[in-house]
Structure 1
Amino acid sequence: MSVQADPPEQEEADLLFIVFEGSSPEDVSHARQLWSSLSLLPPLESRLVSADIHQRLPVSRPQRTAKSPRSRQRQEERRRYAAMGDQRKEILALLRRQRERRIQKELLSVAFKPKGKVGRENEGKEKEQMRRVL
């Protein structure tokens, strides 16, 4: 093999560092190629993502924007019926409250109502008798 001329930076590095003292130039070039081809990886603990674990975000499903007109119509009907049901419940609750208030007022006023006259019953009987006669 032929020995190539080293660039000036390499010559300075050779002067500063003793790579293989007493080795042949061919061994030195092989060693340099080996060390330049290797790159030391950081330890597994320092990695953010481990190579043996799948860390992938779940794929989002396509949104269902295309709805048939029939299904939209059914949903709209359901909403309307639900609103009507809610309104009916509110009305019934209001009527129930009004009835309870009216009953309470009547119960309070029963004690103060004048008693019916006994004579009124007799008047009704007298009118019936007169009709029979005539």
Structure 2
Amino acid sequence: MESEHRGRKTGPEEPLEGGFPGPLIFTGSSEKDKALAKQFWVSATMNPHPESQLVSSSTQQRLPVAQASRPTVAERSFNTEDYKVEQFLEKNRRALEAEEKEKYLQKAKRREEILNLLRKQREERIEKELVFLLHKPKVKVPKKKKVLTESEKKDREEVRALGQLEGEGK
């Protein structure tokens, strides 16, 4: 039986190059023989172990890509009820977000009002203090009488006595 291997004819005694001869076309054979020959070559061909192949050009060596948690609209079969429910849920989520945003905006506005009121009260208090300081009566601190010691008393008496002597002598 003569076979054709990729455009080149080979005889039965001529060995095929490589381990797997590739697709064989048997000329002049019945369809049943061709099917049996293909089945034989597929079963007889031994592929090398995956461990012996350091690098593979196939994509099976790659890690699987993570799938999306929810199938996209294009992946699901379009169902009107599901679409309506999804739209309703999305509308409710947006409404809740809008309410929450409005609540925070009101809190921020209230905070600004309180801060403005505190600033105004502080300015009024400072203004009143300045007015009060202008009209505040000055408090006089009474002077304490100095307590004289015995030696100071004697010195003063001597000064008076000398002053009198000088006044008499004139």
TM-score by length of 1: 0.35
Structure ranking higher in strand proportion = 2
With a CA cutoff of 8 Å and minimum separation of 6, indicate the structure with the bigger relative contact order.
Answer: 1
1 or 2, which has the higher helix percentage?
Answer: 1
TM-score (norm 2): 0.28
